[in-house]
Structure 1
Amino acid sequence: MSGLHQRRRKRPEMNLVPLIDVLVMLIFFAFVTMQFRSVATMNLTLPKVETAGKSELKDSLTITITKEGEFTFQSGARSRKVSLDELEKLIHEVGGISKDITVLIRSDENTPLRHITGAMDICRKNGLNKIRLQSR
């Protein structure tokens, strides 16, 4: 009987590490491809900035830019749609009065950057260097 050894069978075991890796990758993929949608009540969806402060400015004018590139100029309670040339003339007039006025630029989050930088460039050319971008 010494020649007959009973071999002990190893218990089958399942390696969980590769399964956990696959699960983590699936969860990560789900978060990356997920689209979060919120109901917008206005036609303008401001970009979200985590570190944004309050945009309460006393002496300011507001330039609103839609995603189609339309400009609205607001000074005080008056607001009107303007072309890029009209915007440049209005900013020139304001810059001639005072260089201390703060310009608040509001734009849709899908507005092309060229419209925003164009408005900022017009302000800087006319000496208005206090420019703020509004976010939500």
Structure 2
Amino acid sequence: MKFRQRHREEPEINLIPFIDVLLVVLIFLMLSTTYSKFTELQVSLPVADAEKLKERPKEIIVAVSADGRYMVNAQAVDGRTVELLSAALAQAAEGNADTVIIVSADATSAHQSVINVMDAARRAGLSKLTFAAQAGAH
């Protein structure tokens, strides 16, 4: 008896359905993923790019240092309280309500120090307030 040998067919793996499934999973993951950003901010203020303003007839320059000390028209304020700063602003304004206060705060000074200047100006009856900044590099 002579038996014929059968030719065995090699099994073939079809990759196209596998690739289709992977693409669907990839699209699903791309659409459902939320990209969260860290809430950590690195802010370096202030910098402005404006022309020099004309001289004002009456202005008070309040300097705020990085450690929270104040100077009103180049004279140091003895304390750091809002009441002392308000008294110094009222004395420098000499009763003139149209006086403009220019806040020149250090870029690393605490936000509360600048808010104290704004509160002291309000208590002294001075409503015109502006902030000084240095010109930024182009």
- CA distance 1:81–1:130, shift in 2 (3 Å): same
Q: Distance in 2 between matches of 1:111 and 1:101?
A: 24
Which residue pairs with 1:83 in the alignment? 78
Q: Name the SS for the 1:121 alignment partner.
A: helix
TM-score using structure 1 length? 0.56
- Aligned positions, number: 114
Q: Distance in 1 between matches of 2:122 and 2:52?
A: 20
Which residue pairs with 1:47 in the alignment? 46
- Contact between 1:47 and 1:109, CA under 8 Å: does it hold in 2? yes
- Contact between 2:62 and 2:70, CA under 8 Å: does it hold in 1? yes
Which residue pairs with 2:99 in the alignment? 101
- Cα deviations across residues 10-32 of structure 1 (Å, max 9, x unaligned)? xxxxxxxxxxxxxxxxxxxxxxx
Kindly name which structure, 1 or 2, has the bigger radius of gyration based on alpha carbons: 2
Question: Structure 1 unaligned runs (5+)?
Answer: 1-44
- Cα deviations across residues 42-61 of structure 1 (Å, max 9, x unaligned)? xxx96113xx5345353411
Which residue pairs with 1:34 in the alignment? none
Which residue pairs with 2:113 in the alignment? 115
- Cα deviations across residues 88-121 of structure 1 (Å, max 9, x unaligned)? 2121224551100100000111100100000111
Identity of aligned residues (%): 15
- CA distance 1:121–1:54, shift in 2 (3 Å): farther
Q: Distance in 1 between matches of 2:89 and 2:107?
A: 23
What code does the residue aligned with 1:122 have? A
TM-score using structure 2 length? 0.55
C-alpha RMSD of the superposition: 4.1
Alignment of structure 1 residues 15-54 onto 2, 5 Å: 47-49=46-48, 53-54=50-51
Which residue pairs with 2:71 in the alignment? 72
Q: Name the SS for the 1:120 alignment partner.
A: helix
